[in-house]
Amino acid sequence: MFLELRQVAFSYPQKTSPAVIGINLSLKKSGITAIVGPNGSGKSTLTKLMLGILPASEGQIYLEGRNITEYSLAEVGRQIGYVFQNPDLQLFCASVAEEIAFGLVNQGCDVATLEERVNFYLDYFELAAYRKSFPLHLSQGEKQRLAIAAVLANEPEFLILDEPTNGLDAYRKRLLEEYLHKVAELGRGILLVSHDIAFVDRMAERIIVLANGQIQSDSNQRGEGYLC
Ligand code: ADP
Ligand code: ADP
């Protein structure tokens, strides 16, 4: 199992009730899963726990069988890519191509691999025409594609996207769906954190519903003979 949460709880200081509690969850490395739930249900908290940004107050989280507390944030980040709700927060380079190259350059990637990888992602996400453009001048949908491409270029095994349909019209949502299916075809696992039920219904093979910090339902846990 890629990620495993066992009896995980987290409480913010000065809060009487925990933000999430009793979370048992296993995520495979492939496929599209979604976490849905109303505002305040614990989606962001759960995501931060999975990224190792917050330490569990109770329970254990395992990444590839090792306790997440044994990894540095950078090590978790190499395995789990995170796409912010607002792509503006993660785009900071002078050009689209540099944005995709950034993580690879940091990892000391050689020039030939770098060029090949950047070209691959520019083509794959249909951004080649913008390779020299300033990222923040792109449209919302293009910025989002670039944010996904830049995170993917680091080749994480798994991708978490926070509210990926925010600010996208119906047409751009359809495009995003196509791109995310492409990501899944690359063999990467995807976790969508969203309150866009229609989008999630179309995209995800597994839907986890959070309410008041607890898992209310998990479509994976429907036993044999589950009817509606
Ligand atoms: P969601 O992402 O589903 O909106 P959150 O994980 O942000 O849910 O919030 C879960 C609960 O934790 C809410 O009651 C929220 O007010 C609380 N919470 C979230 N972040 C903080 C924080 N930094 N400090 C205190 N309470 C927080
Ligand atoms: P989301 O769109 O993911 O639900 P929120 O609007 O719930 O995000 O939260 C935005 C940010 O504010 C998060 O980083 C969250 O941790 C923080 N936050 C949420 N609720 C509280 C709170 N009650 N006190 C302090 N920070 C909070």
Q: Is residue 98 part of a domain?
A: yes
The arithmetic mean of pLDDT across residues 87-105, rounded, is 94
Contacts of 213 (CB under 8 A, 6+ apart): 17, 18, 19, 20, 21, 41, 42, 45
d(CA 97, CA 55): 35
Which of 118, 53, 50, 47 is closest to 85 using CA atoms? Answer: 47
34 part of a folded domain: yes
Q: Dihedrals φ, ψ of 226, to 5°?
A: -65, 125
Count up the domains in the chain and report the number: 1
Mutate to test the pocket of ligand 1, among 39, 45, 163, 197 (most ligand atoms within 8 A of CB): 45
| Residue to substitute in 20, 39, 44 for testing ligand 2 pocket (most ligand atoms within 8 angstroms of CB) | 44
Q: What is the 3-state secondary structure (H, E, C) of 78-104?
A: HHEEEECCCHHHCCCCCCHHHHHHHHH
Query: What CATH number should be reported for the domain holding residue 108?
Result: 3.40.50.300
Write down the pLDDT at residue 225.
37
Q: Which of the pair, 189 or 140, is modelled with greater confidence? A: 189
What's the predicted TM-score (pTM) here?
A: 0.85
| pLDDT above 60 (res 205) | yes
Establish if 56 belongs to a structural domain: no
CA of 88 to the centre of ligand 2 (A): 18
* Domain-embedded: residue 32: yes
For residues 156-183, give the mean pLDDT. 89
Ligand nearest to the CA of 45: 1
Task: Give me the pLDDT at residue 221, please.
Answer: 65
Domain assignment of residue 12, yes or no = no
* Ligand 1 atom nearest to CA at 41: 3
Domain that holds residue 172: 28-44+72-220
191 part of a folded domain: yes
ipTM of the complex: 0.72
